[in-house]
Amino acid sequence: MGAKELAVGNATEEPVIGLRAARPEDQSFLAEVYASTRELEMSLVDWTEAEKAEFLRMQFEAQHRYYHEHYQHTSWDLILREGEPIGRFYVARWPDEVRIVDIALLPAHRGRGIGSRLILDLLREADAAGKPVSIHVEQFNPAMRLYERLGFAPVGQHGIYILMQRPAGTGSLANVS
């Protein structure tokens, strides 16, 4: 499967952001993305670098296995910036709902509106299909503010995760970024 461009810019404006299906040879990159989401947590433990690396490897493999066992009809995509992988975007498309399984960017690409652009495109897709969009978010995840701005609201709690949902067709997306 080839890359799908989502936002096209020119040299002076926004970079070209796209998606492409993850392949087996992307596993080490996906593990790097996963590890980057746990950097703060790892900075707080008194482990050697080897112990941290082994822990993160095991956690990544467990998460990867869980996602693939429990989320059917899911696109497992790499996020590309100018053709280079910078993150992952996993989306389950079910008959009556769209679920953001995971979205994560490498640290150098966070806070630049890339995740917002991807989620806005997905919200438009879901609105056109008349489906709500949901995501599990850790309670203290800084992205919670973004999801709230995009119209997501808490609908449940599962351990440390809050299930947030945005009903289909919730307001205009024209002025959201």
Q: Are 136 and 128 in contact (CB under 8 A)?
A: no
* Torsion sign (Cα): 21, 27, 33, 34: positive
Q: What range does the domain containing 87 cover?
A: 4-166
**177 domain-assigned:** no
**143 domain-assigned:** yes
pLDDT block averages, 10 residues each, the chain of length 177: 48 80 97 95 95 97 96 96 97 97 96 94 96 94 91 94 93 57
Q: How far apart are CA 41 and CA 15, in angstroms?
A: 31
Side-chain-facing half-sphere of 160: CA atoms under 13 Å: 3
* Torsion sign (Cα): 49, 138, 151, 30: positive
- pLDDT given at position 137: 94
**173 domain-assigned:** no
**172 domain-assigned:** no
Side-chain-facing half-sphere of 57: CA atoms under 13 Å: 7
In this structure, what CATH number is given to the domain that contains residue 159? 3.40.630.30
**75 domain-assigned:** yes
> In total, how many domains does the chain have?
1
- pLDDT given at position 3: 54
- pLDDT given at position 104: 96
Q: Which of 13, 31, 146, 15 is nearest to 80 (CA)?
A: 15
- pLDDT given at position 176: 57
- pLDDT given at position 7: 47
Q: Which of 91, 96, 171, 174 is nearest to 130 (CA)?
A: 96
Neighbours of 14 (CB within 10 A): 14
Cα separation values, 167 from 11, 96, 113, Å: 36, 11, 22
**174 domain-assigned:** no
**E-strand spans in the chain?**
4-7, 17-21, 74-81, 84-94, 97-105, 133-138, 153-158, 161-166
- pLDDT given at position 9: 43
